Amino acid sequence: MLAPAQRLRRRRDFTAAIRGGGRAGRGVLVVHLGRGAGTGTARVGLVVPKTVGGAVQRNLVKRRLRHLAREVLHRLPAGSDLVIRAEPGARDRSYPQLAADLDAAVDRVVRRGRSQRGTGPHGEDRR
């Protein structure tokens, strides 16, 4: 379970992360990484639409993604917001497949964010 300080809850926070940050997709997941409210703690929000399936399938996907998000939280820049959006095929993916999709998408969006900010892989300034 994610701690309350690690969860996105407000619509404006989801919107800010989606519109104001980087995006990467892998498999059945799309992740958006935006600058957070400056709390110092990275936060995560999930979007699992009805196209994924009925309530039972959506809740299963959400539980899996919540657990996986906890494992990638430490790789996110401090104070950032990550929105994970599941595509319709997510209900048919196994847990290891979802984990691989999320790992690849997070790695890509974090790497892109570093290159756009002008920092190297260890946070040093390249300018």
Does some domain include residue 123?
no
119 has pLDDT over 70: no
Choice between 106 and 1, residue whose per-residue pLDDT is larger = 106
Counted domains in the chain: 1
In a domain, 126, yes or no: no
CATH number at residue 13: 3.30.230.10
Q: Identify the domain containing residue 104 by its residue range.
A: 4-117
Instruction: Say if 57 falls within a structural domain.
Output: yes
Backbone angles phi, psi at 47, to 5 degrees: -125, 110
pTM of the model: 0.84
CA distance 82 to 29: 12
Summarised one tens digit per residue, pLDDT across range 23-81 is 999 999 999 999 876 668 899 999 999 999 999 999 999 999 999 999 999 889 888 99
Question: Is residue 120 packed enough to be buried (19+ CB in 10 Å), middle (13-18) or exposed (0-12)?
Answer: exposed
Share of the chain above pLDDT 70, in %: 87
Per-residue tokens: 111: 């790497």
CA-CA-CA-CA torsion for 17, 108, 101, 15, nearest 10 degrees?
Answer: 10
